[in-house]
Amino acid sequence: MIMTDIPAMKIGIMSFAHMHAWSYAHALKGMTDVALTAIWDDNAKRGRAMAEQLGVPFVKDMNKFLAMDTQGVIVTSENVNHRAMVEAAAKAGKWVLCEKPLATTVADAKAMIAACRKAKVGLGTAFPCRYIPAIKAVRAQTASGALGDIYAMSCTNHGQFPGGWFAKTDLSGGGAVMDHTVHVIDLVRWMTGKEFTKVYCECGNVIHKGIGTDDTGSLHLEMEGGIIVSHIASWNRARTFPIWGDVTLEIVAEKGVVAVDAFNQKIGVYSDDVGKGFWAYWGGDSDQGLVRDFVDAVRERRDPAITGEDGLRAVEVTVAAYASARSGKMVAVNSACR
């Protein structure tokens, strides 16, 4: 009898600046064919604390971290640092999964894609909402033609104010519009198979006064084929809200209207022991699905399902949205890469 043991895939994490790093780390820890091998962070205190909690080594020097025998890395740094870390990882021959937004500028996003292409490594963008069961079900309907032509969509992505570097534009690149619009842009592109052509945006600081960046944005978008999309992005959820926010879509199509509340996968629990109500989840783990695909992509030496190009398209729309907000006019979405 011949035994064929598949060696554990070795994955590292670069930076715990973004809160999603924690859930990605736990997704890796929950997989039997993967080893979370090491953590590097330019904030050594933060990196050591996370490494200790997760029971993995912390490597202070980035070059030493990248010289390890890991096959892939997950980049979860401040947004403006994505490019430097992705380029360094690609040069070291690592497959990369980068937190959204892929970059804060179109130029940086293009450079990251080019660096990974030159190094012949895969680059994925972290859009875990594609792995939410309700979202997958609706995408199957649109892809099959069951809804017919899509005419319009109304979307929201509201969340809690994350604080810290998210409100510092020199690190984040923007506020709620930067943080939340990219998720919806990716989902709509995925569901329709169309690209965005124009965007009009109004945004500002209306909820958390004095934070120095936008916490609310209202977008009107146009797509190929004349599809009209409206989107509201905000940091309007209270600190006591059971989860970080929401993702909702309403699709107006030839054969009907479909409404999706992506995070409505819950059971309300009212516990005297806890002393308050809370939501217990029964739905799918979208982060697990995202990380699972990345690990499989590394093993199979292919691009992740959600590519760097997908990340670029979302960056193009977001950058155009901010240009619209500054000018007060409808702005054409960058199409230089198409």
269-277 average pLDDT score: 85
Dihedral sign from CA coordinates of 173, 179, 184, 187: positive
pTM score, two decimals? Answer: 0.94
Residues 29 and 90 occupy one common structural domain = yes
Q: Is 300 part of any domain?
A: no
Q: How many domains does the chain have?
A: 2
Separation of alpha carbons 211 and 334, rounded Å:
29
Q: List phi, psi (to 5°) of 294.
A: -60, -45
In CATH, what number is assigned to the domain containing residue 88?
3.40.50.720
**What single-letter amino acid sits at 263?**
F
Adjacent-strand bridge partners of 232: 156, 218
Separation of alpha carbons 217 and 187, rounded Å:
18
Pairing of strands 72-75, 9-14: parallel
**Tokens encoding 220:** 């009107």
pLDDT at position 240 is: 84
In CATH, what number is assigned to the domain containing residue 178?
3.30.360.10
Residue 199: strand, helix, or coil: strand
pLDDT per position as a tens digit, 187-213:
999 999 999 999 999 999 999 999 989
pLDDT at position 1 is: 36
Nearest to 53 by CA among 66, 41, 39, 70: 39
Residues 165 and 29 occupy one common structural domain = no
Q: Is 223 part of any domain?
A: yes
**Tokens encoding 188:** 């709509």
Q: Is 37 part of any domain?
A: yes
Pairing of strands 248-253, 256-261: antiparallel
What are the residues whose beta carbons fall under 8 Å from the beta carbon of 272, sequence distance 6 or more?
none
Adjacent-strand bridge partners of 153: 229, 251
pLDDT at position 75 is: 98
268-295 average pLDDT score: 88
pLDDT per position as a tens digit, 105-148:
999 999 999 999 999 999 999 999 999 999 999 999 999 999 99
Q: What is the distance of C-alpha 122 from the center of its chain?
A: 16
Q: Which domain holds residue 41?
A: 9-128
